[in-house]
Amino acid sequence: MNAEVSIFGVFTPSLLLCAPIAYLLAAGIKQMLGAVGFYRLVWHRPLFNFAMFVCLLGAIELLLSKVSS
């Protein structure tokens, strides 16, 4: 999605607005995976967390582009 959103006259990319949402979702999922003990199966925890954030960010952008068009 190449759309820009105007916030008080300042155009910001939609990706910048979706990043905090993806971060909060990733933090919640990270807490749940830690409580379940899933991270014992993961080789590199920070890399897994970053990949999860990127996947969530892409999914949110894709969802918003489908909804807005």
Work out how many domains the chain is built from and give that number.
1
Cα 22 off chain centre by: 2
Residue matched to tokens 């590199």: 44
Tell me, what's the pLDDT at 65?
82
Helix, strand, or coil (residue 62): helix
Residue 43 CB neighbour total at 10 angstroms: 6
Write the pLDDT tens digit of every residue in 3-57: 787 789 888 888 888 999 999 999 999 999 999 999 999 999 999 999 999 999 9
Distance CA 69, CA 65 (A): 6
CB 57 within 8 A of CB 15: yes
- Domain containing residue 51: 4-68
Tell me, what's the pLDDT at 2?
60
Distance CA 32, CA 12 (A): 32
